[in-house]
Structure 1
């Protein structure tokens, strides 16, 4: 009960400390703060009885059969409210009704107790009468056994029945030994249990101030994060504005930059093409001269006299007719000149468009720096505001009157612990007496059952079925004597054993049904939470004790359940009725100032020029440079032809073949020499010319593709440039306002989330009262019910069962002893004559004698 007192003291302590409004609905905890430091406790959350728990469950089932009625809430309420007082007038109708309800609830226990009392009263009386009766040679006291035809069967039946009964008695005795030792073992653990609970309560009390400081100190982390963002306003706010403008600005600048590169590349391409055309004209002229020389040599060779001879004449004629093919096919002098376009591009390149674009990039990229420069004063003001918030939050810890209360409660806790430690040795001393007494009880039953077992053992082992009752052996006779000694001890001690069983049954059964079970299913709390029960002036006793406001709905069941779930004291005791954390942690005034600072920021970004007029004129000049009006078709056609009308290699090969058909001589040799010259011309002049023509063809083709729609491209670039410049000019102020608000909300959100985290920590995690529920469980559920009542109930259950089975054991032992003990007389038989029983050896006058 001292632990229960500690529980109530802890409730009173926190009733005077602090309170808060309803906890926030959101449970979001930003990653800015560390996890709330957990508190570890020594006492286990639950208690396991181990293998003996099965035996306890058996007793619970028996108790439920004996006492199946529901928990008497109404009766208990009336008893607590002292509405039931027999000393005044027990004949009042309400008292009579209440008595009847109590009797109805206790009817099972009453019946069992009455049966136990009858057993206590009747067994000694029956034993006394039975002893007198046997002394008078009645009730089986006569040392004479009648012979029966089913005697062997009866002996076996009595033996087996007594053996089974002794086994049941032994099981009950084992229950008693187990229960007795269980109580002793766990009473020895009580000191450790109480110490661990007190240590946990001290841990709770000592950790709470540190938890408060920890929560408040986390403001430093929050402020550091906010200061970091303020110091990085260039990237956060300026970068946000930059990113808003980037999709409209950067693509235009990239297009202009690409156009500047295209102008330079186009000029270089045209200059290169123009140079190649000059080389091509020179090569073409050289080719024509070379072909003319070969043609003249061949014409002169064909004047040879051999050409007048008939077979050679045909060959010479064919060669003469093919000489017209030895001419160039292209006149490059007819192609248009590119000097005009090159001159226009040279004029265009007088303006460095690339540098103008880079200037536009620099102007645009300077936005974050401008923002930083423009917000120096604002950042300084916001930092001052945040410092003042920190001062307000740190002052909260001074306004919570917890230290003094903790000191007072620690004193009460120490006094309670000293009280328990002072009386615990007395409890252990009394338990040693109880243990010794219970051990004696179990040993008495053990002694009785040992006599029975010895009687069965000796009687069964020493029994000789061929021996007559008067001639039975010593071992068999000893077995019978053991059985009768067991009967005597049973009569002598059974009433005492049953008295102990009845007393422990009434106490243990009622405590189990009225305390342990309703505590576990929380019905006991529901009774305590009955309005005006514990105090006629208080609707809710707990709220009246904690807040002195009995109308607040604060119940024992709710407090116990919340503590069992390890919720914070703030939520558990609804301390918002005393100290509202939300009001003390409100920073609305400060956040309003921060919002005003950011909303009223005057950031001027009005000097951003993406491309000046010179750059625009440069683009227009490029679009009118005439590169899109070049006669690309003429160039493509000229450079796509073969430089000669005939393939010189084919012509040379054909000429050589024809020369080979001629007879040897100057004509044949001259033709072969000219064929070799044509091959050399192809190698030295045609191939280089073809390479130049291919290069010009490819470059002009690419240039044609680039210059296609040049005017439209430039017009679109200028259009997008104007649009981007207008967007910057007209929308920059709106974007600045939006980004400033977003940036300010980010800064404020750190503190809003911090306060939310503070509320969650205080209401749900700080001073988590699980040790209180654990202490209450240790006092009632573990110490009272598991350490004492459960084994106590197991004790009377086992001893009661063993004692109850003594009654049939007496009957069967008395019956069986006749078959084991040596008789003084026995039945006498004549041959073929009906058996005549003899009571006395001296009075026998009929038939023969057998001793």
Structure 2
């Protein structure tokens, strides 16, 4: 226990040198940063499972609780430890006598049981000696004579049944002894593997701690790289955010101006198309009128032919003459007003490159990220220097931890402990071999005794004959009785030796369970160790004095063990903020304040952002005054809905040709047909192109009508939105830059705030989680000392003690029962008129009767069967 305690304290002291700091709650990780300390996989993962034999161990624990029901005497143990540490102790002082009485009171159950065992040890050989002497003198049942009694059958059966039950109980005790002996042997062999696994876990724990510290330091580079990436992309990170704030205001206005420039181009195209159509219609209309006039004149001249004066040509010519008035063009088409003035004004508007001005506005807006990057180059360089220096400071703080030296010292001590364990384990295994052999002999000795008892019962019952007299019993029955006597003799001979071993094992095992295992399980043992000034009269709390060099701080073994069981970090477990305050060393405000000052010194000027200059505004205003909104689009649309001629020339030509067919052959008929052909040619060559020009004119008019309908309102709205957006930029650009710069700075700083908070959290909560220490202690005390050693030892003395104790009634019953199975030398018989007739005395070897065997009998003749 001294080595174990020293090993634990040294380990806790080591971990105290490894880490330091406060205990902040875990910060919420950023999306790009998610740190996780590397963890090790330990061989011993959970508590040792005893298995089915645990039921036997619990049975022994219940027995020990009945024997020793008192609670663990914490005060008494404290006083004993204090007396032991004193250089001189006067045991005759009243307080020492009282202390001794308390110890006796606590150990009363064990003392009483031990005293009864000692009585058994003293009296058993003495009683056996007297019984042997007495039986040699034909006393105490030594005389080979059996008197007949009425309840002989009942007594024999009761004695046999009782002895059988006792033998079964003794056999159970022997089984417990065999099981316990096997458990000790197998678990001693497991001790080496468990010890190796425990040391391997401790080495893993020690190796993992430097790796975790290296990981913590390495994550600063990860954080710094992320910050550097943001700084290198400040054009998109900061400039993009500034653009994002301006975009909802600026882009719609520029899009409106761009749409207005497109509308101007479309207006020009529509006016040009309209002018072209009007010019075409003017010339085509005049030519059409001339052509139709020529045709009409030619037809009228042809109608002067004499055939028109005689039948049947009179009616036909008259009809043709009447229809010639319809052969006219639409004279209004040539009178449509020109749009040259409007087109000239639009051309004047287009002389200014409005599209170029809009593109310049877009460029002025899109250049914001580049301007931000250019103006922040010096500040970004300074911020990077601050980040590099911060990393050096954090590395310097971690370098102050005496890791390597402490690890080397502890590893050396652990190597010595492991070497000592490996040196002593062969001796333990050798001692276990002797112990196993002794226990095996004890169990086999008890087994031999039980075998004699069981053989005696078996042979006695199987060889018993109801009709045989005590002197005529068979060999099998007689052998059974002899075996019972041999079992009784061996019980007298060895039971006191067995009880001596049981008492010794009981005193040792019971005290190990009640004074070490049980108080360790309920942690009362830790509370004793946590008594102020107990282990060191100058230190109030021994553990805090050893680890923190501040014995007044309340740091207890119980609290340390509980925290380690919960897998907490050593920093929190050992309250190491009292030795090395990581919160002060990693002052988050101190490190981030430098970054805040650098970001505050960042001066970004984005003045000069002009969405559209004054010439562009005038251009828009001139476009609104170009006059297209004053054009009489209704008249144009009315004319475009009419035909270029008053009559359909094709129908007129078909009709003329039909009428000509009614004329007699001659020049008149030929002239009419030629005229019809000319009218058809005029329609195809002149009217159809005019109709196409009317369609184009209609489309252009519609386009201009749509544009002019909201021209003035649209231009005014665009100019108003432009002025509003420009004023917004002028008024708010500075505040937007400041706001977004602070936001960008907070993003960069948040990376390092999270990192520093995580460093503090990792060191205080996760670094060097000491569960392997608690597991190693549990493996040493609970598993090896209690489960591997104490529990099997207690089960052994419990089983062997029970078996040994039951040998006393077993030998008594065996001696009594043997007389019912052994062959007697004389017996009692009964006649009808005689009270008792003894049989022939086999000792004298003649046919006479010994005088001592007659009790007023006159006829020594057997006249009726024996009753037995």
Instruction: Compute the TM-score of the two structures, normalised by the length of structure 2.
Output: 0.84
Per-residue CA deviation, residues 634-678 of structure 1 (Å, 9 max, x unaligned), is: 44555567889999999999x99x99xx99999xxx999999999
Counterparts of 1:837 and 1:75, CA distance in 2 = 73
Name 2:863's counterpart in structure 1.
848
Q: Please tell me whether residue 264 in structure 1 is matched to residue 279 in structure 2.
A: no
Counterparts of 1:57 and 1:491, CA distance in 2 = 32
Name 1:546's counterpart in structure 2.
547
Task: Using the TM superposition, give the Cα deviation of residue 358 of structure 1 relative to its aligned residue in structure 2, in angstroms.
Answer: 0.8
Name 1:229's counterpart in structure 2.
230
Name 1:793's counterpart in structure 2.
794
Residues 683 and 498 (structure 1 numbering): CA distance in 2 closer, same or farther, change over 3 Å? Answer: farther
Name 2:25's counterpart in structure 1.
25
Counterparts of 1:75 and 1:777, CA distance in 2 = 25
Name 1:360's counterpart in structure 2.
361
Per-residue CA deviation, residues 673-699 of structure 1 (Å, 9 max, x unaligned), is: 999999999999999887776666566
Counterparts of 2:489 and 2:43, CA distance in 1 = 53
Residues 306 and 791 (structure 1 numbering): CA distance in 2 closer, same or farther, change over 3 Å? Answer: farther
Residues 625 and 436 (structure 1 numbering): CA distance in 2 closer, same or farther, change over 3 Å? Answer: same
Counterparts of 2:738 and 2:99, CA distance in 1 = 78
Name 2:857's counterpart in structure 1.
none
Residues 567 and 84 (structure 1 numbering): CA distance in 2 closer, same or farther, change over 3 Å? Answer: closer
Name 1:717's counterpart in structure 2.
718
CA contact (8 A) 2:459 2:479 kept: yes
CA contact (8 A) 2:256 2:718 kept: yes
Task: Using the TM superposition, give the Cα deviation of residue 789 of structure 1 relative to its aligned residue in structure 2, in angstroms.
Answer: 0.6
Instruction: Compute the TM-score of the two structures, normalised by the length of structure 1.
Output: 0.85
Q: Please state whether the residue corresponding to 1:164 is helix, strand or coil.
A: helix
Counterparts of 1:397 and 1:55, CA distance in 2 = 53
Task: Using the TM superposition, give the Cα deviation of residue 187 of structure 1 relative to its aligned residue in structure 2, in angstroms.
Answer: 1.6
Name 1:489's counterpart in structure 2.
490
Task: Using the TM superposition, give the Cα deviation of residue 479 of structure 1 relative to its aligned residue in structure 2, in angstroms.
Answer: 2.4
When structure 1 is superposed on structure 2, of 235-244 and 788-797 the one drifting more is 235-244
Name 1:348's counterpart in structure 2.
349
Task: Using the TM superposition, give the Cα deviation of residue 221 of structure 1 relative to its aligned residue in structure 2, in angstroms.
Answer: 2.8
Residues 671 and 51 (structure 1 numbering): CA distance in 2 closer, same or farther, change over 3 Å? Answer: farther
CA contact (8 A) 2:286 2:334 kept: no
Name 2:57's counterpart in structure 1.
56
Counterparts of 2:70 and 2:297, CA distance in 1 = 137
Write the mapping of 1:86-485 to structure 2, written as runs, cut at 5 A.
88=90, 92=94, 98=99, 101-145=102-146, 155-276=156-277, 332-333=333-334, 336-485=337-486
Counterparts of 1:525 and 1:106, CA distance in 2 = 21
Counterparts of 1:442 and 1:59, CA distance in 2 = 19
Residues 376 and 136 (structure 1 numbering): CA distance in 2 closer, same or farther, change over 3 Å? Answer: same
Q: Please tell me whether residue 820 in structure 1 is matched to residue 803 in structure 2.
A: no
Counterparts of 1:684 and 1:287, CA distance in 2 = 10
Counterparts of 1:812 and 1:587, CA distance in 2 = 87
CA contact (8 A) 2:21 2:763 kept: no
CA contact (8 A) 2:485 2:814 kept: yes
CA contact (8 A) 1:4 1:775 kept: no
Residues 514 and 684 (structure 1 numbering): CA distance in 2 closer, same or farther, change over 3 Å? Answer: farther
Name 1:533's counterpart in structure 2.
534
Per-residue CA deviation, residues 602-624 of structure 1 (Å, 9 max, x unaligned), is: 22222221111121112112222
Residues 283 and 104 (structure 1 numbering): CA distance in 2 closer, same or farther, change over 3 Å? Answer: farther
CA contact (8 A) 1:66 1:109 kept: yes
Residues 614 and 150 (structure 1 numbering): CA distance in 2 closer, same or farther, change over 3 Å? Answer: farther
Structure 2: gaps (5+ residues): 666-670, 842-848, 855-859
Counterparts of 1:228 and 1:767, CA distance in 2 = 33
CA contact (8 A) 1:270 1:342 kept: yes
Per-residue CA deviation, residues 304-355 of structure 1 (Å, 9 max, x unaligned), is: 999999xxx9x99999999999998995456554444333322221112111
Task: Using the TM superposition, give the Cα deviation of residue 179 of structure 1 relative to its aligned residue in structure 2, in angstroms.
Answer: 1.1
Counterparts of 1:353 and 1:261, CA distance in 2 = 9
Counterparts of 2:309 and 2:257, CA distance in 1 = 72
CA contact (8 A) 1:186 1:787 kept: yes
Name 1:563's counterpart in structure 2.
564
Counterparts of 1:547 and 1:198, CA distance in 2 = 25
Task: Using the TM superposition, give the Cα deviation of residue 588 of structure 1 relative to its aligned residue in structure 2, in angstroms.
Answer: 4.6
Task: Using the TM superposition, give the Cα deviation of residue 95 of structure 1 relative to its aligned residue in structure 2, in angstroms.
Answer: 5.4
CA contact (8 A) 1:33 1:218 kept: no
Counterparts of 1:321 and 1:814, CA distance in 2 = 170
Counterparts of 1:530 and 1:188, CA distance in 2 = 37
Task: Using the TM superposition, give the Cα deviation of residue 470 of structure 1 relative to its aligned residue in structure 2, in angstroms.
Answer: 3.4
Structure 1: gaps (5+ residues): none
Q: Please state whether the residue corresponding to 1:26 is helix, strand or coil.
A: coil
Per-residue CA deviation, residues 236-258 of structure 1 (Å, 9 max, x unaligned), is: 22222222222222221122122
Residues 837 and 784 (structure 1 numbering): CA distance in 2 closer, same or farther, change over 3 Å? Answer: farther
Counterparts of 1:115 and 1:695, CA distance in 2 = 133
CA contact (8 A) 1:344 1:625 kept: yes
Name 2:780's counterpart in structure 1.
779
Task: Using the TM superposition, give the Cα deviation of residue 556 of structure 1 relative to its aligned residue in structure 2, in angstroms.
Answer: 0.7
Name 1:578's counterpart in structure 2.
579
Name 2:753's counterpart in structure 1.
752
Counterparts of 1:141 and 1:647, CA distance in 2 = 165
CA contact (8 A) 1:21 1:576 kept: yes
When structure 1 is superposed on structure 2, of 611-620 and 497-506 the one drifting more is 497-506
Name 1:72's counterpart in structure 2.
73
CA contact (8 A) 2:358 2:611 kept: yes
CA contact (8 A) 1:18 1:575 kept: no
When structure 1 is superposed on structure 2, of 572-581 and 116-125 the one drifting more is 116-125
Q: Please state whether the residue corresponding to 2:56 is helix, strand or coil.
A: helix
Counterparts of 1:767 and 1:403, CA distance in 2 = 15
Counterparts of 2:822 and 2:245, CA distance in 1 = 115
Per-residue CA deviation, residues 485-540 of structure 1 (Å, 9 max, x unaligned), is: 22222232222222322322232222212211221222211221122222333221
Counterparts of 1:644 and 1:824, CA distance in 2 = 170
Per-residue CA deviation, residues 90-111 of structure 1 (Å, 9 max, x unaligned), is: 673x556655554554444344
Q: Please state whether the residue corresponding to 2:823 is helix, strand or coil.
A: coil
CA contact (8 A) 1:348 1:621 kept: yes
When structure 1 is superposed on structure 2, of 328-337 and 450-459 the one drifting more is 328-337
Name 1:517's counterpart in structure 2.
518
Counterparts of 1:61 and 1:651, CA distance in 2 = 133
When structure 1 is superposed on structure 2, of 728-737 and 431-440 the one drifting more is 728-737
When structure 1 is superposed on structure 2, of 252-261 and 688-697 the one drifting more is 688-697
Residues 507 and 283 (structure 1 numbering): CA distance in 2 closer, same or farther, change over 3 Å? Answer: farther
Residues 819 and 734 (structure 1 numbering): CA distance in 2 closer, same or farther, change over 3 Å? Answer: same
Counterparts of 1:106 and 1:647, CA distance in 2 = 139
RMSD value, Cα: 4.5
Per-residue CA deviation, residues 423-461 of structure 1 (Å, 9 max, x unaligned), is: 332222222222121111111111122222322333344
Per-residue CA deviation, residues 141-194 of structure 1 (Å, 9 max, x unaligned), is: 444455667665655554444333323322221221111121122222323333
Residues 198 and 645 (structure 1 numbering): CA distance in 2 closer, same or farther, change over 3 Å? Answer: same
Task: Using the TM superposition, give the Cα deviation of residue 625 of structure 1 relative to its aligned residue in structure 2, in angstroms.
Answer: 2.5
Question: How many matched pairs?
Answer: 840
CA contact (8 A) 1:648 1:679 kept: yes
